[in-house]
Structure 1
């Protein structure tokens, strides 16, 4: 690869056009690739070194394809704001293997209260890790805030699941299978805003189109968190609605009656197949680098923009995942 070709690559931005849904979907299919969880620390550190060296203007001995591969390995494991390596189970590449197991078990073992309590608790424990890992900005989260978010989300999910199970006892069997989804949706509405409470209180960094930081915006934080909550609920919907319908039909046949032990493995597999597509496609609903009109910002930020000479119609921020 010639120097001229190398210098045309912008590794600060995704490979595909993020103004279109298709471009965002291609981007997230790469970022959430489950195979990335098998990358070693050495491979991830090498990817980081390659990307950072390139951004400094150094041209590594790598092809264009290898540079993009390094960028996406780097993006899959390092936080975009803090630049820290994220814990393995909190990375988006771990969403499919982790969620297919947890969701499959929630959908299988939903009939008894002890099973509901355990799997809703387990799911919210995992969600707390994911929400913390994929928060927007570089604001620290206190242990008390982590504990409060975790407690409220777990309580909300368990209360919703147990309460609805008691309500739908006399309803058709298929209705009860959707209780886990309602509980998860309710928990997302609690867990994500609580885990990112610091952002709602202090704001998240907003930048101009050239990447210059303008300040912190609470309004942008509200928009970011609303988008993430909606995306997460949409992400859970296919995996928690299609497999229950399929399993319900299968239970009326002879196979699962003869081999009931296969219920959980089949359900986990169905959820996994669904999440392979639902995870990146729902992450792509909104741009990762989201934006908001400068006229909608706080008065003090609008004043800052005017002091800089104006001319900034929109500001940009990392919405988190």
Structure 2
């Protein structure tokens, strides 16, 4: 069978992900594709070519030589580079594909500069600043998260992370063992528990939008907003846990070896690069695998979660509505 798009009996639906999002494996494949850091190195010409392929396809203009695989590759790069609402090219540090390399460098600093006051302040400030850039870049066109709320969330998350790190460092004072090395993870977990609920607090007070299978708004739900925020927070903490726990354990073992102890140059210069590389290896897998923990869209019973508008208005809709569950990927 021909792989040309024009020869397909049913044209690919690029308004949805390429893989089945009702299964974990399908979601994982989707996020491995969308978080691929190699897309950061695509040329401007290639990016514009993909934009043209996608926009023309949506208008019904299909090149006779375009294959299905080329279409999906163009859609993947387009989604990674251009904002889904505005269509404008996103700042490269805010793209999903920048998550692994960006967080790799930041994690290396978090895990290596945890012993001193300036190191704690600088590394957590950099981390939360990067998160703020990601949140702002990926903010949807109809987002209710104002610039003021983004700034307040940023300040609270930064302050919470610094306070937790400095307080825990004081508790494990003079300890150079594993407990001290795990302080950055505890601080990051607390920052996530502060940042995500604050960013999406309007959904709790006003309710999360619920839409039917045709994308039409049918109501709002506070219950689904709380569930969604809890799932996002859990997935972000789970994303950080493997490499922010495993890396300190490995580094702690390395520092106890005779080879390490007898080489002053290694003690002075090796910690940041070793932990950065270990964090990068972990991030390559945990970012897509943890983003895939929960579906971005879920079906819920109307009667269980809907703040109704009116019985007459709801009567014409199906029993199930769709709600968005996940937000931007940050540490």
Query: Normalization by structure 1: what TM-score?
Result: 0.90
Out of 117, 120, 124, the residue aligned to residue 120 of structure 1 is: 124
Structure 2 CA distance for partners of 1:216 and 1:87, relative to 1, 3 Å: farther
Secondary structure at 1:315 match in 2: strand
Would the aligned equivalents of 1:220 and 1:317 in 2 still touch at CA under 8 Å? no
User: 2:243 — aligned with what?
Assistant: 239
User: 2:322 — aligned with what?
Assistant: 315
Distance 1:205 1:14 in 2: 21
Deviation at 1:219, TM superposition (A): 3.9
Deviation at 1:133, TM superposition (A): 3.0
Would the aligned equivalents of 2:104 and 2:276 in 1 still touch at CA under 8 Å? yes
Structure 2 CA distance for partners of 1:107 and 1:289, relative to 1, 3 Å: same
Structure 2 CA distance for partners of 1:208 and 1:310, relative to 1, 3 Å: closer
Distance 2:176 2:310 in 1: 55
1:280 paired to 2:281: no
Q: Please list the CA deviations of residues 93-119 of structure 1 after superposition, one character each: whole Å capped at 9, or x if unmatched.
A: 101101010011110111111111110
Q: Please list the CA deviations of residues 159-204 of structure 1 after superposition, one character each: whole Å capped at 9, or x if unmatched.
A: 0000001112266711111100000000011112222334444444
Out of 78, 91, 99, the residue aligned to residue 87 of structure 1 is: 91
User: 2:275 — aligned with what?
Assistant: 267
Structure 2 CA distance for partners of 1:291 and 1:161, relative to 1, 3 Å: farther
Distance 2:138 2:154 in 1: 15
Structure 2 CA distance for partners of 1:297 and 1:137, relative to 1, 3 Å: farther
Q: Which runs of 5+ in 2 are unaligned?
A: none
Would the aligned equivalents of 2:219 and 2:309 in 1 still touch at CA under 8 Å? yes
User: 1:99 — aligned with what?
Assistant: 103
1:56 paired to 2:59: yes
Distance 2:113 2:191 in 1: 18
Structure 2 CA distance for partners of 1:193 and 1:133, relative to 1, 3 Å: farther
Q: Please list the CA deviations of residues 134-169 of structure 1 after superposition, one character each: whole Å capped at 9, or x if unmatched.
A: 346622533321221111111100000000011122
Which has the higher mean CA deviation after the structures are superposed, 15-24 or 131-140?
131-140
Number of equivalences = 320
Structure 2 CA distance for partners of 1:181 and 1:302, relative to 1, 3 Å: farther
User: 2:36 — aligned with what?
Assistant: 33
Q: Which runs of 5+ in 1 are unaligned?
A: none
Would the aligned equivalents of 1:156 and 1:183 in 2 still touch at CA under 8 Å? yes
Deviation at 1:218, TM superposition (A): 4.2
Query: Normalization by structure 2: what TM-score?
Result: 0.88
Secondary structure at 1:139 match in 2: coil
Distance 1:95 1:234 in 2: 15
